[in-house]
Amino acid sequence: QVQLVESGGGWVQAGGSLRLSCAASGTIFSINDMAWYRQAPGKEREEVATMTSGGSTNYADSVKGRFTISRDNTKKTVYLQMNSLKPEDTAVYYCYILGYMTTMTRFNSWGQGTQVIVSS
């Protein structure tokens, strides 16, 4: 099955930046949608950024203008560039990809999650 491995999380001070990576491995024919989610302790998961296969992007209001989702098709990797980080951005971040392993076999996979902590 397709697996997603995340990296890039860590601790930063408010105003700092981090770049999260989500590398996909396995048999992938195409990727239809990709997204980043986050979940803070005791809170529900929220979608923060999405991108379609055509390149259209959407962002949660809370991160708009600060976060950027991008992809590298050759590396089969999706990124989340996070700038001007705020303490409220502290959460575990998960990547998600939906696509096809073959023309008839659909898949959807989640990354293992990476912790982002933003201190004041």
Question: Which tens digit of pLDDT belongs to each residue from 69-89?
Answer: 999 988 999 999 999 999 999
Percentage of residues in the chain having pLDDT higher than 70 = 100
Sheet strand arrangement including 18-25: 3-7, 18-25, 77-82, 67-72
pLDDT value of position 120:
92
Please tell me the distance from the alpha carbon of residue 22 to that of residue 71, in angstroms, as a whole number.
Answer: 9
Burial group, residue 63, by CB count within 10 angstroms (0-12, 13-18, 19+): buried
| Average per-residue pLDDT for the chain | 96
Q: What backbone phi and psi angles, to 5 degrees, belong to 33?
A: -140, 150
Q: What DSSP string describes 55-116?
A: --EEE-TTTTTTEEEEEETTTTEEEEEE-S--GGG-EEEEEEEEEESSSS-EEEEEB--EEE
pLDDT value of position 88:
96
| Ranges of the chain with pLDDT below 70 | none
Reference 116, options 19, 5, 3, 4; nearest CA is 19
